[in-house]
Chain A
């Protein structure tokens, strides 16, 4: 297990180096004059010159890169030229709402597991066909279209839940009062529903593969009850691939959160990025993307370690 952890951490370091190089290239190497890009459309020549000096853009490219990484390590992501505020501070303010939304969506997403298993155990029955068809249709709905529909139906038509906003968060990511909880429901269900569809589809496929395997036949032949066969023998093996998929899927969840927040005008990293895109506020967009990428990378690290912990084949291979 320790060898595996070391190998995985080594891989993480390489990925982090790669991520910073790509972000650096996008921010500093592609545009004609990075200082001008980072200073914004209406910046004065003095401000551009100041930024050039501050970021060391007169130095050779490798030096610029190491300075960039140095600033990142110190949590310095530059300054929004639109709001003239440090990007790190903006992220700190907006992160709790986004993390809250993502966690709620992950909780909803877990519903896909029992649904997928149920489908697989009743393959080709009416309910299986219905669930699978519904899963494929929902999976195909773009998250912002579903969000608009939810907003229209539950917010506008039925007037049940708040249309927009996030309420106020007293306890970091925990929706501590009714207002905050009520405004979480629609965005979380929007984001979660698409993931439920996806996870249940994948869980069905994984379960179908497992219940056709020899050891399940053996378990049945031993005369075990169907409940025991499913819960004790099939479930554990069918859940493993889905866990990995769910880990990789966090990336889609992050992207979906941006769009969901935009539709529901819900303060968060997504809305922050959206507002920055309109003004082409590059430091904010890059900072937000980098933040989401870090969360994604570390979440996947934990998923992989958990995966290796339950499945010895992973940690022993290669």
Chain B
């Protein structure tokens, strides 16, 4: 499960500002090409890591499915899948046990005769929405508080970082569960609960990087030119501290997706009739013993593959941007 934070204690140690490695510089000189920028260099490194490339492909495919379904949500049908994900059809669910995969229903049909393929696709949209929006909320809070904390130091820093400590003190998923018990189930509550509880990761990570960047000469130069604190923080410091944050975003989306699935599995996340992978898994659970494996298998596989994609892409990105791991 990726919903854990290891960044906190390492943040101050990791001066993860990417530099083009020496070997590549020499190579560039020999071949006579222009030295690469940060992104081109990262990409070159990432390409060598097969797992990371597989992860990236998975991420792109699932984001595309999510996007398609998001567009589908605005069509008159309300979905862009072969069948209506919520339409029941008892003819293809004799004895209430669904029907196995066939040409017309590639993932089979569930106990109410709903098309599992269509439901899984529509659920992809929910997962991607949760991942992206929850992380966006966390990022906005974290990227405001983190740099302020690192840049100003002193009591501002103490207050923000001690608050972050408190947020880290709760086991994450239990904290989310507690908030959801008070807020009640629902898509927006899931966004808010996950988003608000994850800010501390980004704030800590960024504070560490800001601390290491703020002593650099170009920041001093900006100050000497009379730039305001806000301008220095958000224009000069922040863009140079983002590499570890991009890694955390990739991992964070994977974490948010798995958290939503867990919440829905426990019955406190997405509410019916909306389809969500976690909800599908808990709904179809009892049909496994009766031999109806297809209902449970496909949402589980989708969920696992997606989370794997985000984690292995995130890990690859970390290795590719970490100067300590460059040969």
A-side interface residues toward B, CB under 8 Å? 11, 14-15, 18-19, 21-23, 26-27, 30-31, 37, 132-133, 136-137, 139-145, 148-149, 152, 156, 194, 198, 201-202, 208-209, 241, 244-245, 248-252, 254-256, 258-259, 262, 273-274, 276-278, 280, 282, 285-286, 288-289, 292-293, 296-297
Contact = CB atoms under 8 A, between A and B. Distances in A.
Interface string B161-199: 011011011111111011111111000000000000000
A137 B162 CA distance: 35
B171 A273 contact: no
A272 to B, nearest CB: 12
Contacts of B177: 258, 273, 277, 285, 289
A248 B6 contact: yes
A269 to B, nearest CB: 9
B303 A289 contact: no
Interface string B227-255: 00000000000000000000000000010
Interface of B: 1-6, 8-10, 51, 162-163, 165-166, 168-175, 177-184, 254, 258, 261-262, 265-268, 281, 285, 288-289, 296, 300, 303-305, 307-309, 311-312, 315, 324-325
A288 B174 CA distance: 9
B165 A14 contact: yes
A11 B163 CA distance: 11
B1 A252 contact: yes
A76 B183 CA distance: 24
Given A31-B182, A132-B51, A144 B262 contact: yes
A258 B173 contact: yes
Best-buried of B182, B289, B300, B324 by chain A (most CB within 10 Å): B182
Contacts of B173: 252, 255-256, 258-259
12 contacts: A15-B165, A18-B166, A136-B311, A139-B1, A142-B303, A144-B265, A202-B6, A209-B324, A256-B1, A256-B173, A276-B181, A286-B178
B153 to A, nearest CB: 13
A252 B182 contact: no
A293 B6 contact: no
Nearest to A249: B4
Nearest to B254: A140
B4 to A, nearest CB: 4
A30 B262 contact: no
A282 B281 CA distance: 25
Contacts of A293: 169-171, 174
A292 B172 CA distance: 11
Contacts of A245: 6
B178 A142 contact: no
A202 B281 CA distance: 30
